[in-house]
A and B are shown apart, each in its own frame.
Chain A
Amino acid sequence: MIQFTDVYKRYQNQHEALSGLSFNIDKGEMAFLTGHSGAGKSTLLKLIALIERSSHGQVLINNQNLSHLPQRKIPYYRRQIGLVFQDHYLLHDRTVFDNVALPLVIAGENHREIGRRVRASLDKVGLLGKERNLPIALSGGEQQRVGIARAVVNRPPILLADEPTGNLDPELSRDIMQLFEQFNQVGVTVFVATHDHELIKTLPYRQVILQKGRLAQQETA
């Protein structure tokens, strides 16, 4: 599902963020991406989300070669990927419902379908009662769950998360991870960048460990 082959990413200041990276994540797998700050985790996720493009090498996502994807097709490509961010990236002038509905509105779903799927998605993350609230009225953990509801509302085959538990206490972090596991159990490929070692130690998933832009090791826990 996610396949990197000899991928390099060099920035204009000659800094090499990724060097000859190759790894593979299967369809329906759940895996963690770990490594120190500056090891290239964010760069790797940006390559998958096509926020940036690789300097060299091949990135294959869901059987699409990203270096061959023209700029104008990027929006449609991104609709296949649910993105979860450390800072949630919620729109604070819109209700929880409207935040979660955004990907469906963009995709041009009709009104009834949007209502149905937004509620289903909010139900899954346990926030069904808060759809009329503004994000600011929610706790950090709740805001993150709104972000997850938005990421899965259009049922993408891949779910990417960048430090989703970065600002949360251990108990809330476990709840969030459980959510990811639930989505994985229904067939979604889940790839989570995190440095929360305490948490992932307890979970039975493979780790892709980066060190200075290279693959340090792959651990099957």
Chain B
Amino acid sequence: MRFLEFNLKNYALRHMQVMLFSLGQLWRQPLASSMTVFVIGIALAMPAGLYVLLQNLNQVSNQWDDASQISLFMQADFTDQQAKQFTDTLRAWPDIAAVEYQTANQSLEEFRQLSGLGDLLNTLPSNPLPALVMVNPSKNSLRPDAVGSLLARLEILPEVEQAQLDMEWLQRLRSMSKTGQRGISLLAILLSLSVLLVIGNTIRLAILNRQAEIKVTKLVGGTNAFVRRPFLYTGFWYGTLGGIVAWLTLLFTLSLLSGPINELSLLYNSPFSLQWLTGQMFIVLPLSGMTLGVLGAWLAVGRHLSAIEPR
């Protein structure tokens, strides 16, 4: 047991040494290394930045959820006496939160005020406006499909002439944001692929540069794992450092954007302010960079290392 413990300690120590050795190698060629790191950083920052903006867009549109309202324009022969019973029925529906009734006269009054036509409307023989019932869906049925089904069920009620969802544009925004999400996922995949290729190519060059060393190492009994290790750690460092650069790039870009956006939301009287998601991104970016780095190195090493055998 003591022996095993000792060996494990030795093993971990060796990994630490190789890890620091690879970092030292990057450090010794600062220009080439930092260029690679920056390419990776920018490639990772792009989808991350778009993701942050999209999350913010979703947050804004969520604020408008409560405003989603269905207007029911009643039949012309709908009387105020029927109204009480009708609204009570609707209030009992589980997917309706609130119901408000507005008589035809109230509608006319409102129209008079808003339109400014004033006395001109008095010349009309009768009130052309219908009574109005405003329905607020309950919180659980705010999803587009739930609201849609509610709308359909309201529309076929005999008392209702026409039902109209005021927030159809919100659905369009939602589906646009869904499209955006899909696009960002695709972009993230493509850029991840390019990170893989960048790291793979860098590692390939590193392998070619150290061909002699690999041959000698194999001749004196180095296993493939031993030869592979420093390259995997090189990929690890490129990816992780690239992730950190991506995070810094994101911070920088958002700090440039946040000023104008806050001004804009002030103009719209909106409580909105840009969410940076820095904490989340500080974990996600280096982690995905690291994963891509090790994976890219692994692919390059697997492809090129077996080709270098002592002859």
Contacts and interface: CB of A to CB of B under 8 A. Distances in A.
Contact of A78 (B11, B213, B220): B220
Contact of B220 (A51, A72, A103, A111): A103
B215 A108 contact: no
B310 interface: yes
A36 to B, nearest CB: 21
B84 to A, nearest CB: 86
B219 interface: yes
Contacts of B309: 51
B172 interface: no
Given A75-B221, A75-B222, A108 B216 contact: no
Contacts of A76: 221, 223
A39 interface: no
B216 A91 contact: yes
Interface residues of B, number: 21
Contact of A102 (B7, B10, B217, B311): B217
Contacts of B224: 72, 75
A106 B17 CA distance: 13
B216 A78 contact: no
Nearest to A83: B219
Interface in A24-69: 49, 51
Majority DSSP secondary structure for residues of B touching A: helix
B222 A106 contact: yes
B143 interface: no
Interface of A: 49, 51, 72, 75-79, 83, 89-91, 102-103, 105-108, 110-111, 150
Given A75-B222, A78-B221, 20 more contacts: A51-B219, A72-B223, A75-B218, A75-B226, A76-B221, A77-B221, A78-B220, A79-B220, A89-B216, A89-B219, A91-B212, A91-B216, A102-B217, A102-B220, A103-B221, A105-B14, A106-B217, A108-B11, A110-B13, A111-B13
17 contacts: A49-B219, A49-B310, A51-B219, A51-B310, A72-B223, A75-B222, A75-B224, A76-B221, A77-B221, A78-B218, A78-B220, A90-B216, A102-B216, A102-B217, A106-B217, A107-B221, A150-B220
